Structure 1
Amino acid sequence: MKFGINLLAVMKFFPLKLFSKLAVLSEELGYNGYFMADHYNLPGPIHECLEPFTTLAYIAAKTKKINLGTMVTPIPRYFPPQLAKIVAHVDHLSEGRIIFGIGAGWHPPEFKTYCQDQTFYDSSQLVNRTIEGMKLIFKLWTEKSVEFEGKYYSLKRANLEPKPFQKPYPPIWSGGKGDFMLKMAAKHFDGWIYVNWEQKNSEDYQKKVEKVKKHLQVFGRDINKFTFAIQASIADPLERVKTFVDAGCNYYVPVLGYPKQLKADQCLPAAKNFAHEVMASFK
């Protein structure tokens, strides 16, 4: 059983030094991963967020062994070759500690401000751009002189160097709860992330885990090598965490929540409390 931690990267409410302090403390406490949402802004009082990959590169220099990842990166918001380059470089800076969490995206204002064509696509195009974008990223990470002609992206004689530190590339976890995204995670990726903002119980999670497992069997993949992650709450008590573990979770990532739920000076104590009250029971 593994545990990560995720502090919402909100500049307005959390001081910059808190992110590195939390990462260093989390490593000392035995957390396996430190994750960041890939958002440039969020609705409501959240507003502007830290860019995740530059922040993770900084945190990589402050830590030694904890994995570092996004939860999750919206592929259609990026130009895939540029994203492939960024992830490969941060993988090198961290000496192979990156976990690449991916998704299709959901927040229109981000796309309209930061996407190359300033458009928020419909749901089918978001998914299709994610699939095509990842195909291109895979090729850039594993091949030289890449030729690619897709519906949305094209490249001629492109060569990305350096290739990722991890071979053939970092572990990739896919978000999404729809049937198609579950199937895609099982077919192409190394893990699946259930984002539980709604604070649902473990029954819904277990149903989706079973669907992913069935897809893994169909595709001839090893279930024991697949990560079933959940992004939940730092306030979750041991009894609740156990229900998700019993439902199939093998990587639990509590979020240090929205500013209204948790102030900056409460973050480090909350991380310590979760480690002592919950994580210690699984050792």
Structure 2
Amino acid sequence: MKVGLHISDFTWDGGAEELRFRLADIAQRAELAGVDRISVMDHVWQIGHIGPPEHEMLEAYTALGWLAAKTERVKLLTMVTAVVYREPGLLAKAMTTLDVLSGGRTILGIGAAWNEDEARGLGLPFPPTAERFERLEEAILICKQMWSGSEAPFEGKHYHLARTLNSPQVLSRPHPPILIGGAGEKKTLRLVARYADACNIAVYDPAQAAHKLEVLREHCATEGRDYGEIEKTAQTRFDLGEDGENVQRTIESLHEVAELGFTVAHGSLLGVSKNRQFDLFAERIIPALEKF
């Protein structure tokens, strides 16, 4: 089982002046420990279950550019891009830039967006749910077209591009893998079956996660897609306890998740900026999960 580190909390000792150094150090230590991928959130305010909106939050693609410069091997992605926060042509260009400058280490994590408060707060678009899903599908098609080398126009319901020129092209071939986040059974998992190379499903309730995989399998059958082609990414949290008291329970829980068919455990490490927590993660969790 591969391990992904999701960095979702930037409220660390030292404040903004030290943030870039701490972020680089965390990423480099994660890479050295064998983490397969690192993600950041595509939020502009902190989200409720982590902290108040006033806590520090970095813009996702700028942060990933910094991480690309400070690492050599790990894959880089947002978990996940809010489709309505950027025009798809610009998103494809940002992803292309990240892919080229990272040496082909990107994954496009994308979803329909959900945080209306931050969107309204900063004047970002936030149309109704049905429209956001329509825009999600069109954005995926635009990215794939721009990464294919085609310069043809794109005429959708919501987006209209006169020329889909994209130079330089991505290094990842045929294009950066597309991960669609979320587990909505009617829309999200159908889009995964139709377009995605990977899904991201919460595994806090293993029975519920197993059900979501069955729904995805059914959508794949309907779409004529090979279910086995889709990478199953488990959204989790690594809460190891102050003294590591939760380490064994975490390993056992993720072993159960692996048996469901998930091949990547991707989550936030509570206390990621603390040396003791990171050492437990590197020395106990990553080696254990690699055996699954």
Tell me, in whole angstroms, the C-alpha distance in 1 between the residues paired with 2:205 and 2:164: 46
- Select 2:70's aligned residue among 45, 50, 62: 62
Tell me, in whole angstroms, the C-alpha distance in 2 between the residues paired with 1:100 and 1:11: 26
What fraction of aligned residue pairs are identical, expressed as a percent? 28
Q: Alpha-carbon deviations, 1:90-119, whole Å to 9, x = none?
A: 00111111111110000013322456xx44
- Does the C-alpha gap of structure 1 residues 168 and 265 become closer, same or farther in structure 2, counting only changes over 3 Å? closer
Tell me, in whole angstroms, the C-alpha distance in 2 between the residues paired with 1:122 and 1:147: 26
Residue matched to 2:90:
82
Residue matched to 1:91:
99
Tell me, in whole angstroms, the C-alpha distance in 1 between the residues paired with 2:25 and 2:202: 25
Residue matched to 1:22:
26
RMSD: 2.1
Q: Normalising by the residue count of structure 1, what TM-score does the alignment of the two structures yield?
A: 0.88
Residue matched to 2:193:
186
Residue matched to 1:134:
140
Q: Which runs of 5+ in 1 are unaligned?
A: none
Q: Which runs of 5+ in 2 are unaligned?
A: 241-249
Tell me, in whole angstroms, the C-alpha distance in 2 between the residues paired with 1:30 and 1:188: 29
Tell me, in whole angstroms, the C-alpha distance in 1 between the residues paired with 2:167 and 2:8: 31
Deviation at 1:11, TM superposition (A): 5.2
Tell me, in whole angstroms, the C-alpha distance in 1 between the residues paired with 2:278 and 2:267: 9
Aligned to 1:50, the other structure's residue is in SS state: coil
- Select 2:286's aligned residue among 274, 279, 283: 279
- Does the C-alpha gap of structure 1 residues 110 and 55 become closer, same or farther in structure 2, counting only changes over 3 Å? same
Aligned to 1:3, the other structure's residue is in SS state: strand
Deviation at 1:232, TM superposition (A): 0.9
- Does the C-alpha gap of structure 1 residues 265 and 136 become closer, same or farther in structure 2, counting only changes over 3 Å? closer
Kept after mapping to 1: 8 A contact 2:217/2:227: yes
- Select 1:228's aligned residue among 215, 229, 232: 232
Aligned to 2:179, the other structure's residue is in SS state: strand
Residue matched to 1:145:
151
Q: Normalising by the residue count of structure 2, what TM-score does the alignment of the two structures yield?
A: 0.86
- Does the C-alpha gap of structure 1 residues 88 and 188 become closer, same or farther in structure 2, counting only changes over 3 Å? same
Q: Alpha-carbon deviations, 1:115-162, whole Å to 9, x = none?
A: 6xx442111111111111221222122133221122211111331111
- Select 2:114's aligned residue among 106, 109, 121: 106
Aligned length: 272
Kept after mapping to 2: 8 A contact 1:29/1:272: no
Structure 2 counterparts to residues 30-69 of structure 1, below 5 A: 30-44=34-48, 45-47=52-54, 48-69=56-77
Kept after mapping to 2: 8 A contact 1:10/1:46: no
